[in-house]
Amino acid sequence: MFILWILTGFCLYSVASATYARWANNFHASRANEVDKPTTSSSSQPHIIFIMVDDQGFRDVGYHGSEIKTPTLDWLAATGVKLENYYVQPLCSPSRSQLMTGRYQIHTGLQHSIIRPTQPNCLPVENITLPQKLKSAGYSTHMVGKWHLGFYKRSCMPTQRGFDTFFGSLLGSGDYYSHYKCDSPGMCGYDLHEGEEAAWEQDRGIYSTHMYTQKAVNILARHNPKRPIFLYLAFQAVHSPLQVPSRYLERYKSIPNLHRRKYAAMVSCLDEAMRNITLALKRYGYYNNMVMVYSSDNGGQPMAGGSNWPLRGSKGTYWEGGIRAVGFVHSPLLAKRGTRCKALMHITDWYPTLVTLAEGTLDENQSLDGYDVWESISEGLPSPRQDILHNIDPIYTKAKNGSWKAGYGIWNTAVQAALRVGDWKLLTGIPGYSDWIPPQTFSNQLLANRWHNERVRWDRGKTVWLFNITADPFERVDLSRRYPHIVKKMLLRLLQYDKTAVPCRYPPKDYRSNPQYNGGVWGPWYSDEDEEEDENYNVLSNYLGKRRRRQKAKRKGKFKRKT
């Protein structure tokens, strides 16, 4: 009897313990859900989080086969949509200008290079920017990180271009801790800003990836998730200089190449930042009604540790390694998650796509070059985009062997240009450094001349290339001689684009930009009188540009009649 009583008591205790355990688990789970459960938004407009990273190579993410560990990026991409036919521009300012305007460089006058800190130049103020459009649709707009779209006058600053708040840098690069930048000897200054003023008081010498992440988290914590927010987080990482807290280097001791090791550590730090941003989006109630876009601004720079392997070329070139980017969309609002999108996409497409998602309006007179590609991303439908003008640069060094003859009398092949139409890609002029460079992981040579790479010798002197990018994404087989009729068609398309180009804006250095004249800070130096003169110059420049194009068209008409 006693034994029976003991067994009964034990069974009752086990049942009670199991019941309590289930109750405790449910209680803790419900408490966790209260923390992570998104607040129901009173608006159908999704929160938009756009993450722009700097100089991340095509290979430099785990899901592209890299030795660099990126568990957060891999998870976000795997549970979202990977963009595997996605293009940007080969340099910082061009990509950012096209994101902000939805227009090609030839239509904003920023066809050549980047905006230098000493140039009286910026994203033309007559262009309505993405944050301006979202703000008019009821969004709170915030920017954290790298601007790099000019600042020579106050009207060029981020807070004058649609952002309610701005915390970050105006230039293209700088020290990750001190936030100083020297453009040339004697041209050095501080580059960390809150709004339109230097952020001296907020600067604690913190590594910029950590600092920008914390700032973004604070914005999310303060904002009411019932109101739509646009957060543009433009990391400085992983652009040179190669600087990173030492604890991130520990996991890459096996990489003998110092540049690659530091670069890998910087990417890991960036991955950790993305984890913290994602947790904040869940914690503060944004996640269930959010669209996150992740994009690199251009290809990686092998000389600074990056890798675009197996793509050809690097940052600053129009080969695939310079313009085909790491990109994905992560959102619970996607119709089909866990997919790879091979639809043709370009960075200009974000403008109409995000404005439409935000229930904003697109004006017909904006003459956008981007397309709304949400259905291609979310549902896997074909892309509305058939071609991409990668660029036409009238200032870049002319190819010595280029000629009108090589361009069949249609195009001067000395001019640097690149165009994608369907499966085909055409390049003219000097596309840039063209080797295929494997990751320098197992090499201890830093900047040696004889890297482990494949040098191209068979196409020297050429000024026209044609590739079927779908069949040959690594650009190994030039088909320009085999298919001259396709070359001609694409040259005619280039010519059509060129007729719509506005004059190139690339002014000389203005020595008044020197930070020593502005309290040691990089910032606007133009006065109100200067701005008025600048506006008059722009009006005159546009008039003369149109006049030149009309005269050029007349001359071509006469030439055709004579022939």
| From 47, 92, 142, 259, active-site residue | 92
Q: How many CA atoms lie within 13 A of 114 on its CB side?
A: 21
Quick check: 476 and 493 in contact, CB under 8 A? Answer: no
Quick check: 358 and 350 in contact, CB under 8 A? Answer: no
Phi, psi values for residue 493, rounded to 5°: -65, -40
Is the previous residue joined to 225 through a cis bond, with omega within 30 degrees of 0?
A: no
| From 112, 148, 259, 330, active-site residue | 148
**3 state SS for 192-247:** CEECCEECHHHCCCCCHHHHHHHHHHHHHHHCCCCCCEEEEEECCCCCCCCCCCHH
Quick check: 448 and 441 in contact, CB under 8 A? Answer: no
Q: H or E stretch including 31?
A: helix 2-36
E strands present in 33-186: 47-53, 81-83, 86-87, 140-146, 165-169, 180-184
> Is 269 a residue of the active site?
no
DSSP letters of 279-305?
Answer: HHHHHTT-GGGEEEEEEESS---GGGT
Say whether 404 sits in a helix, a strand or coil. coil
Two structure tokens written together for 543: 């008039």
Two structure tokens written together for 6: 């003991």
Quick check: 52 and 234 in contact, CB under 8 A? Answer: yes
E strands present in 310-384: 327-330, 339-341, 345-346
DSSP letters of 298-316?
Answer: S---GGGT---TTSS--TT
Two structure tokens written together for 361: 């309006």
End-to-end Cα distance, the chain: 119
Q: What angle do CA 445, 449, 454 make, to 5 degrees?
A: 95
Please give the C-alpha separations between residue 199 and each of 116, 205, 256, 418, in angstroms, as whole numbers: 22, 11, 38, 40
Please, which residues have CB within 8 angstroms of residue 27's CB and are 6 or more apart in sequence? none
Whole-angstrom distance, CA of residue 345 vs CA of residue 299: 16
DSSP 156: G
Whole-angstrom distance, CA of residue 439 vs CA of residue 260: 8
Please, which residues have CB within 8 angstroms of residue 64's CB and are 6 or more apart in sequence? 58, 326
> Is 148 a residue of the active site?
yes
Please give the C-alpha separations between residue 7 and each of 2, 10, 552, in angstroms, as whole numbers: 9, 5, 102
Which residues have a catalytic role annotated?
Answer: 92, 148
